[in-house]
Amino acid sequence: MATVHERFPVPPEALWQALPHGVDAVKGQNPYYDAAAGYVTFSTKLGLFSYGQTVTVKVERTPEGSGLAIQTSLKFGFVDWGEGKRIARKFIAAVGHTPAV
């Protein structure tokens, strides 16, 4: 399991609008968006080099603007060998380079 936090100098509403770009970047499946609670949850595929992950991304208000709290957990297995952090960083990069942000 990995938890990664990142801050952005934009309002939470703008960051929320960019979340689908992050889901697409990590090839997330079956995303569930809960705007009232401010989070999205989705999963990644099981593959040759991946056990698959369940990912929850929460948008938070910060003094500087907004932030993301990304939590990943394996669907199967015990050690993710850094895969969760790689997924989180790829998600952050996609959201940070979105025109809405």
Element (H, E) at 21: helix 12-25
Domain that holds residue 41: 2-97
pTM here? 0.89
Instruction: Give the number of domains in the chain.
Output: 1
Q: What is the torsion angle, in degrees rounded to the nearest 10, for the CA atoms of residue 31, residue 97, residue 51 and residue 84?
A: -110
pLDDT along the chain (101 residues), means of 10: 90 94 95 95 83 92 93 82 91 79 45
Q: Where are the beta strands (DSSP E) in 1-101?
A: 2-8, 29-34, 39-43, 53-62, 65-74
Residue 99 is predicted with a pLDDT of: 54
Residue 70 is predicted with a pLDDT of: 96
**Cβ contact 11:66 at 8 Å:** yes
Residue type at 92 in one-letter notation:
I
CATH number of the domain at 60, please. Answer: 3.30.530.20
